[in-house]
Amino acid sequence: MNTPTKQKPSNKDFHSYPWWSPRFWHGMPMRVWFDLVRQNHWNIAPSRLGLLGTISLASCFNSIAESLCKARFRKQLKSPPETDPPIFIIGHWRSGTTLLHEILMLDDRFCCPSTYQCFAPSHFLLTETFLTTALAWIMPSKRPMDNVAAGWHRPQEDEFALVNMGAPSPYRRMAFPNTMPAEPTALDLKTLSVDEAEQWKSVLRRFITTLAIRDARRPILKSPTHTARMATLAKMFPGARFLHIVRDPFVVFPSTKRLWNSLHHVQAMQIDSESNAEEYVFKCFDTMYSAFQRDRAELKDGQLHEIQYEELVADPVSSMEKAYEKLKLGGFEKVRPAFEKQAESMKGYTTNTYHHDPRIVSEIAKRWQPFIQRYGYEQPTTE
């Protein structure tokens, strides 16, 4: 049995991401950016020194804009509008969380953070209107890892806002994949110290408060990382709802590996060695679903609903109707026409295809067997 030779990712493997387009770290203020760099001992590849310069300059701007934003919105930040508890869209990376997020955002009773708000969480209240217009040209039309559209106003993961605000996050590893721990740090908040956990919660509350000033509708927050944090989130936001999406793990694994490779290729300050990419995917999944199964017992009835990606794609309207009913969201008939229109547009959507490596298939079947059995997936045949 021959295993395909490992190859370094190249620009041809992913959608084009121009050198002038922003990296996540361009949204960090100075204290957060230089803390990240110092933590990794300034271990930066020579080919990334240009990024070091532009991100460092941007961090100076972000720190100044942050101070101005706090001064300008001081009263609103002290007395923000009240909002209903968030709806969290959760599930492993590449399971369909983005698709589910964009469908749910067709309901105009809800709001969510945009790409710009997650990119510049410390000052978007002050700068969003001007900079999203002025910098529209620097954003690529698609994400580097798939066919999903990109843009400043597209729905985005709040985890990027948290990491740019200085919260503990596994996403810090994207910048330094060779020197950060080969573990999903801060994925399960129970692994953090008391001070670190309190810092994380404080940052999330601050971000949601800032979002409420811009839009007081019920927020929808989508981040795969929150799959491992349900108990903490439920305690922070009584009445929160969790919509969990799952997908065939034999598709999720290669797609997730490709995700990390594409992000490291575009976002990293180092040349990713890829020496532990496969094991990192396994460890993240194990950590995520160990925490998920532990936490679900602490939720009240009606707080969690699970949906399978395959069912969502096959019949989006029925899938969403069940979710609305289970989570007691109400108002489904009002938004049904929008869901039906979205279902029509999804008929032309294509996903990436993957060769099933027999070695990886065997490893997935062994290590993720509880998940495979719980959700009724089958091991694919390999040649």
Average pLDDT over residues 122-143: 88
Residue 365: give its domain's CATH number. 3.40.50.300
Instruction: Decide if pLDDT at 360 tops 60.
Output: yes
Q: Nearest to residue 165, comparing CAs of 126, 207, 195?
A: 207
pLDDT tens per residue, range 179-201:
998 889 999 999 999 999 999 99
What is the per-residue DSSP string for 261-292? HHHHHHH-SS----TTHHHHHHHHHHHHHHHH
Higher pLDDT, 5 or 165: 165
pLDDT in tens, 313-332: 999 999 999 999 999 999 99
pLDDT at residue 382, as a whole number = 72
Model confidence at 275, pLDDT cuts 50, 70, 90, reads: low
Average pLDDT over all residues of the chain: 91
Give the pLDDT score at 141. Answer: 67
Ranked by mean pLDDT, which of 8-22, 296-310, 348-362 comes out on top? 296-310
Give pLDDT, residue 232: 98
pLDDT of residue 19: 73
For residue 11, is pLDDT > 90? no
pLDDT at 96 over 70: yes
pTM above 0.75, yes or no: yes
Question: pLDDT value at position 146?
Answer: 57
Asked, for residue 47, whether it belongs to a domain, the answer is: yes
* Closest to 112 measured CA to CA, from 131, 95, 133, 88: 88
All residues at 6 or more sequence positions from 71 whose CB lies less than 8 Å from its CB, including other chains = none
Q: Span 110-125, mean pLDDT?
A: 98
| Residue 74, domain member (yes or no) | yes
Question: Which range has the worst mean pLDDT, 8-17, 60-69, 308-317, 343-352?
Answer: 8-17
In a domain, 183, yes or no: yes
Question: What is the C-alpha end-to-end distance of the chain, expressed in Å?
Answer: 9
- The yes-or-no verdict on residue 97 having pLDDT over 80 is yes
Residue 5 has pLDDT above 70, yes or no: no
SS3 89: strand
pLDDT of residue 2: 34
Choose between 273 and 59: higher pLDDT: 59
Q: Does the residue 7 lie in any domain?
A: no
- What is the per-residue pLDDT for 4? 34
Enumerate residues 6+ apart whose C-beta is below 8 A from 163.
24, 169, 171, 172
Is residue 380 in a domain?
no
Question: Distance between CA atoms of 195 and 240, rounded to whole angstroms?
Answer: 24
Distance CA 36, CA 205 (A): 22
Q: What does the pLDDT read at residue 143?
A: 63
What pLDDT score was predicted for residue 346? 81
d(CA 208, CA 42): 32
Mean pLDDT calculated for residue range 255-283? 89
Owning domain of residue 174: 14-375
Tens of pLDDT along 216-264? Answer: 999 999 999 999 999 999 999 999 999 999 999 999 999 999 999 989 9
Residue-level pLDDT at 351: 65
The answer to whether position 3 is within a domain reads no
pLDDT higher than 50, residue 1: no
pLDDT of residue 88: 99
pLDDT digit string, tens, across residues 47-80: 999 999 999 999 999 999 999 999 999 999 999 9
Give the pLDDT mean for 263-274: 87
Beta-sheet strand order (sheet of 218-222): 110-111, 218-222, 87-90, 241-246, 304-308
Q: Per the domain annotation, does 381 fall within a domain?
A: no
Residue 6 falls inside a structural domain: no
- Could you tell me what percent of the chain has a pLDDT over 70? 91
Q: In whole angstroms, what is the distance from residue 345 CA to residue 161 CA?
A: 30
Q: What is the pLDDT of residue 7?
A: 40
Number of domains in the chain: 1
Report which of 326, 266, 291, 260 is spatially closest to residue 90, judged by C-alpha positions. 291
Euclidean distance between CA atoms 285 and 279, whole angstroms? 10
